[in-house]
Chain A
Amino acid sequence: MATGIADSAAGAPAGQNVLGDALKDAFFAGLITLGLIGPLVGFQTVAIDTGAGSVLGLAYRPVTVAIMVGIVFIGRLILNLTIWSPNRVAKTRSGPTVFDRIGTAAGPAVKPLLLAFAIGFPFLATLMMGGMTQARYLLDVGILILTYVMLGWGLNIVVGLAGLLDLGYVAFYAVGAYTYALLATSEPVTHFFGGLLGETFWANWAFWICLPVAGLFAGLWGMILGFPVLRLRGDYLAIVTLAFGEIIRLVLINWVDFTGGGAGIASIPRATFFGIPFTAGEDGFAARFGLEFSPMHRIIFLYFVILALALITAFATVRLRKLPVGRAWEALREDEIACRSLGINTTNVKLSAFATGAMFGGFAGCFFAVRAGFVSPESFTFDISAMILAIVVLGGMGSQIGVAVAAAVMMGGMEALRNLDFLKQVFGQDFDPALYRMLIFGFAMVSIMVWKPRGLVSTREPTIFLKERKAVSGDLVKEGHG
C-alpha cells in the first residue's frame, strides 16, 4: 500500500547521504503504514459471549501489524537503495514490451499454438490426470476461463475498441442467463412444443434454440439501455451503466413471481449433443455413439461449446474491425468530434458497439445457465463486471490475445488461490486463501493502472495496409473519449 508514498528522497542530488535519506523515507513509509493498517488490522472486533447474549469486544493483533510495517519499512529501504537510488541513472521508456511482441510480431506463431492448446486441452487433461473423471476439475477451470475469455472479448468491443466504459456488462450476462433459464423451464413453452413436436423436444433442443434468442435479446437490451445514455461523457456513462446493472440485479431479486427472486431458478435443462441428451439411457449420447456412458462426456462437450462460442466472438470481432462499423468504433475511441465531422452518426456507432458487446455477453450468459443448471442474482453482482473489466484492461484494451492471456492469468490465479492449502500450514488452520481473492484482485487492478495502464499488449494492429502491416505504438492509441 505504502509504496511510492513519500519519494522525497528521489529528488535529492546524487551522492548526498543516500543511506540517511533512504532510512528517513523508509521510516516515514513505515509510520504511514502503521497509521493505515493500525486501527483495522491491529484491533479485531469480535463477538464475546457474556452468557446473556454476545457483546462486541476487541482482540489484538500487534504482531501482524508489526510484521506488515516491518515489510514496508525494509522493502522501501531496499528499493530506495537500489531501484529508486538517486545514484542510479533512470532508464528511459523502452519500446514495445515482450507481450507487445508476442501480440504482434510473434502473433502468427502464438495464435495457432494457443488455439491448438485450447482444442487439445481436454485430451491433455485426461491424459495427465489419468482418466476423464479425474480431469473434471481441470476441465471445469478450463470452462470457467473460456467463459471469461469470451466475456472479456465481448466487453473488449465496447471498452477496448469503441472506448466506452461499461460498468454494467454483467447485466447482459444476466439477461442471457435468465432468458435461457426462464424459457427452458417455462410451462407454457414446454407445453406448446410438447404438443407440436413431441414430449422431449423442448428439453432436448431448448439450449440450441435459446442460445441465439438469448444473444439477440441481450443485444436488444443493450440497445434499450444504451439509447438514452450514450450521449453521456465517459465517466457518466460508466456510472449509468453501473446503475443499470444494479437495477437489473435488484429487479431479479425482488420480482419473485417472475424470476424466483433470490432463490433463483433451478433444474434448468442440460445441454444436449444437438438434440441427443447426455444420459445413460438408450437414446443417450453414449449409447448412440457406441461409447461407454460417462458423465464427463457432457463436461467435455460443454468445454467445446464455450470454446466455439469464444472463437465465434473472436472471429466476429476480427471481421468487424475490418468493416466500416469496426473502424468507426476505433475512430470513435480516438476522436468523437472528428468522427462527427466526417458524417458518422456517433450515436448509432456507439449503439452498435454496445449492442454487439451485449449480444456476446448474452451468449455467454446462456452458456452459464446451461452449464450450472441454476441461476440466481448472486451470480451477477458488480464484482463480475469489475472482473471482466479488469481482464480487458490488463490484457490491453483492444488486444484479443492480451485479453485471452489476462483471463487465463486472472481466473486461473483466482482458482489457484483456492488450492494453496500449504498456506494453512504457515498461517494456521483458520487461514482461508480464497478469502483474499477479491483483495488481491482489487490490488491487482490498481497496480495495473499505476504501472502498466495500457495493459499487457499495448500496440494496436492496423486493420488495413498497402505495403506493410506495422503495429501502432500504444502511446499514440487513445483509450476512449472519456
Chain B
Amino acid sequence: MDIFVQQLINGLTLGSIYGLIAIGYTMVFGIIGMVNFAHGDVFMVSAFIALICFLLVTTVFGITSIFLALAIVLVVAMFFTSLTNWAIERVAYRPLRGSFRLAPMISAIGMSILLSNFVQVAQGPRNKPVPPMVTDVIVLMENDGYQVTLAWKQIIIMVLTAVLLGGFWYLVQKTSLGRAQRAVEQDRKMAALLGINVDHTISLTFVIGAALAAVAGVMYLMYYGVANFADGFVPGVKAFTAAVLGGIGSLPGAVLGGLLIGLIEVFWSAYFSIEYKDVAAFSILAITLIFLPQGLLGRPEVEKV
C-alpha cells in the first residue's frame, strides 16, 4: 500500500511532464494534421537552455534564492524554446504545406536528428548533472521505516501543470486566438477567406506548444537533475503516445493520456520490470493506434469517398 501511494505520486509527477509535452503534439496535429516528430527534441533543447540559464543565474549572477532562479530559468527557457520552434516551423514545415502529406513528417524526422546532434556537437555527448534543487520533502506516511514522501518539486510540477492547463484551456476556448485556431483546424481556406491570418495562427500554435514543452523541460531538469542530448527521443515518443491515447487533437485528452502513461510507466517499473518499461510504452502506442485510433477523448474519423 505504501509503495502504491508513493508510485502514484511519482507517476502523476512524471505524467504531468508527459502531458505538457503531449499538448504540443496534439495542438500541431490538430491544426495542420502533421506528427511533429521533432517536438521531443524541442523539449530536450529546452532542458539544455534551462540548464545553461540556471548555471548563469546561480554561478555568474549569484542569485541564491532557488525560487527566483527557477522563475527566471522558466521565462528564459520558454522564450528561447518558442523562438526555436517558431523558426523550425518557418523553415522546415511551412514551405511544405500543400506538398504531399508525408513530406512535413519526413522533414520533421530530419529536424529531430538535426536538433539532437546539434546539441551533441555544441554541448558534448555526456550527461550534464546539476546540483539537486528544491530537496525538501513532506513525509505523508511512515511504516516500518518505509516513508511515503511528497517532494516539494513534485508539488511544484503538478501545481504548475494544473495552472498552465487552466490558463491554456481559457486561451483556446475564450480568446480570439483560440477561435482562430479552431477555425483553421476546421477549414484552413475558409478561415483565410474570413480574414484569419493562417500563417500567424499556425506559428502561434508552434510557439505555445514549445512554451509548454519548455516548462516540461525545466521541470524535467529540476526533477531528475540531469540533461542529455539523447533525452528527446524517448520522452518525445511517450508524450506522443500520451497524445494518441488521450485522443490526438484533444487537449484534455493529452493531459489525461500523459497522466496515464506516467502512471503506467511508474507502476510497470515498480511491479514488473524496469528493463521493459520503454517496451511497455511503445507497445501501448502500437496497441492504441491499432485498436483505438481515435483515443479516449477523440472523435472517430469518417473516411470520405
Binding site for B on A (CB under 8 A): 1-5, 32, 35-41, 43-47, 55-58, 165, 167, 228-229, 231-236, 238-240, 242-244, 246-247, 250-251, 254, 337, 382-383, 386, 389-390, 393, 435-436, 438-439, 441-446, 448-450, 453, 478-480, 482
Q: Which of B53-79 contact A (CB under 8 A)?
A: 53, 55-56, 59-60
| Closest-CB distance, A59 to chain B (whole angstroms) | 10
How far is A36 from B114 in the complex, measured between Cα atoms in Å? 13
* Contact between chains at B91 and A57 (CB < 8 Å): no
B95, B99, B100, B106: the one contacting A389 at CB < 8 Å is B106
Cα separation A439 to B113 with both chains bound (whole Å)? 7
Which of A36, A238, A243, A478 is close to B237, meaning CB atoms less than 8 Å apart?
A: A243
Closest 5 CB pairs of A and B: A445-B110, A442-B114, A482-B101, A442-B113, A449-B107
From B55, B92, B240, B285, A56 is in contact (CB under 8 Å) with B55
**B129, closest chain A residue (CB):** A56
Task: Tell me the smallest distance from the CB of B159 to a CB of chain A, in Å.
Answer: 27
Residues in B with CB closer than 8 Å to A337 are 303, 305
Given A236-B293, A446-B92, A478-B100, 14 new contacts (CB under 8 A): A4-B90, A39-B52, A41-B122, A43-B55, A56-B130, A165-B106, A229-B289, A235-B35, A239-B240, A254-B279, A390-B110, A439-B121, A442-B115, A480-B100
CB-based contact B102/A243 at 8 Å: no
B34 within 8 A of A: yes
Interface residue from B92, B102, B105, B278 paired with A450 (Cβ < 8 Å): B92
Restricting to B259-280, which residues have a CB under 8 Å from any CB of A? Answer: 275-276, 278-279
- Does any Cβ of A come within 8 Å of B223's Cβ? no
Expressed in whole angstroms, the Cα–Cα distance for A435 and B125 within the complex equals: 10
The answer to whether B112 has its CB under 8 Å from any CB of chain A is yes
User: For A383, what are the chain B residues with a Cβ–Cβ distance below 8 Å?
Assistant: 113
Which of A37, A38, A250, A445 is in CB contact (< 8 Å) with B113? Answer: A445
Question: When chains A and B are docked, how far (Å) is the Cα of A148 from the Cα of B275?
Answer: 31
A166 to chain B, nearest CB (A): 11
Complex CA gap A390/B109 in Å reads 10
Contact B95 A482 (CB under 8 A): no
Whether the pair B102, A57 counts as a contact (CB closer than 8 A) is: no
Chain A residues lying within 8 Å of B51, measured Cβ to Cβ, are 45, 56
Known A250-B279, A442-B110, A444-B110: A40·B122 in contact at CB below 8 Å: yes
Bound together, the chains give a CA A482 to CA B101 distance in angstroms of 6
A443 contacts B110, C-beta separation under 8 Å: yes
The answer to whether A238 touches B87 (Cβ under 8 A) is no
With contacts A45-B52, A247-B283 known, is A1 near B91, CB below 8 A? yes
Contact B80 A35 (CB under 8 A): yes
What are 22 A-B pairs with beta-carbon distances under 8 A? A5-B90, A32-B83, A40-B123, A45-B128, A58-B59, A165-B102, A228-B290, A232-B293, A233-B293, A239-B244, A250-B278, A382-B233, A386-B109, A393-B106, A438-B113, A439-B114, A445-B106, A445-B110, A449-B104, A453-B99, A480-B100, A482-B100
Is B286 touching A238 in the complex (CB atoms < 8 A)? no
Inter-chain contacts of B283 with A (CB < 8 A): 243, 247
Q: Please, what's the 1-or-0 string for B115-149, where 1 marks a CB less than 8 Å from any CB in chain A?
A: 10111111110101111000000000000000000
Least Cβ–Cβ distance between A214 and chain B, in angstroms: 24
Residues of the A chain whose Cβ atoms lie less than 8 Å from the Cβ of B52: 39-40, 43, 45, 58
Are A442 and B111 in contact, with the CB atoms below 8 A?
A: yes
- Residue B168 at the chain A interface, CB threshold 8 Å: no
CA distance in complex: A444, B114 (Å): 9
Decide: A251 near B102, CB < 8 A? Known: A4-B91, A232-B293.
no
Contact yes or no, B279 A479, CB < 8 A: no
A438 proximity list for chain B (CB < 8 A) = 113, 117, 120
CB-based contact A250/B120 at 8 Å: no
* Residues of B close to A446: CB separation below 8 A: 91-92, 107, 110-111, 114
Q: A240–B49 contact, CB under 8 A? A: no
Is B220 part of the binding interface, using a Cβ–Cβ cutoff of 8 Å?
no
Chain A interface main SS type: helix
Bound-complex Cα distance A40 to B53 (A): 10
B289 and A240 contact, CB distance less than 8 A? yes
Q: By the criterion CB–CB under 8 Å, are B110 and A56 in contact?
A: no
Which of A32, A37, A45, A250 meets B55, CB within 8 Å? A45
Complex Cα distance, B113 from A448, in Å, reads 14
Q: Interface size on B (CB < 8 Å)?
A: 67
Q: Say yes or no: is B96 at the interface (Cβ < 8 Å to chain A).
A: yes
Q: Would A239 and B95 count as touching, CB distance under 8 A?
A: no
If A240-B290, A243-B282 touch, does A235 touch B59 (CB 8 Å cutoff)? no
A188 to chain B, nearest CB (A): 27
Closest to B107 in A: A449
A436 contacts B121, C-beta separation under 8 Å: yes
Q: Is B21 an interface residue (CB 8 A)?
A: no
CB <8 Å contact, B122 and A238: no
Asked whether, in the complex, the Cβ of A479 is within 8 Å of the Cβ of B100, the reply is yes
The answer to whether B103 has its CB under 8 Å from any CB of chain A is yes
Complex contact A480–B102 (CB within 8 A): yes
B251 at interface, CB cutoff 8 A: no
CA distance A45 to B122 in the complex (A): 9
A39 near B107: Cβ-Cβ < 8 Å: no
Is B290 a contact partner of A232 (Cβ separation < 8 A)?
Answer: yes
B45 within 8 A of A: yes
Q: CB-CB < 8 A to B115: which residues of A?
A: 442
- Least distance between A343 CB and chain B CB atoms (Å): 16
Distance in angstroms from A92 CB to nearest chain B CB is: 17
Residues of B within 8 A of A58 (CB): 52, 55-56, 59-60
Residues in A with CB closer than 8 Å to B110 are 386, 390, 441-446, 448-449
Chain A, Cβ-Cβ closest to B112: A442
Considering the chains assembled together, what is the distance between the CA atoms of A383 and B233 in angstroms?
A: 11
Q: Inside 8 A of A254's CB, which chain B residues have their CB? A: 275-276, 279
**Does B6 sit within 8 A of A, measured CB to CB?**
no
Partner of B102, one of A37, A40, A55, A234: A234
Say yes or no: is B48 at the interface (Cβ < 8 Å to chain A): yes
Q: Given A43-B56, A337-B305, A449-B92, does the pair A236, B87 have CB atoms closer than 8 Å? A: no
Fill in one digit per residue for B215-235: 1 if any A CB lies within 8 Å of its CB, else 0.
Answer: 000000000000000000100
Residues of the B chain whose Cβ atoms lie less than 8 Å from the Cβ of A453: 96, 99-100, 103
Q: Which residues of A contact B45 (CB under 8 A)?
A: 40
Q: Closest approach, in angstroms, between the C-beta of A244 and any C-beta of chain B? A: 6
Residues on B with C-beta less than 8 A from A250 are 276, 278-279, 282
A240's contact among B84, B106, B109, B286, by CB below 8 Å, is which? B286
- Closest Cβ of chain A: how far from B129's Cβ, in Å? 6
Instruction: Write the nearest CB–CB distance from B244 to chain A, whole angstroms.
Output: 8
Residues of B within 8 A of A479 (CB): 100, 102-103
Pair B48/A40 contact, Cβ less than 8 Å: yes
Known: A57-B59, A234-B101, A389-B109. A449 touches B96 (CB 8 A): yes
Minimum distance in angstroms from A232 CB to a CB of chain B: 6
Given A4-B91, A337-B305: A449 touches B114 (CB 8 Å cut-off): no
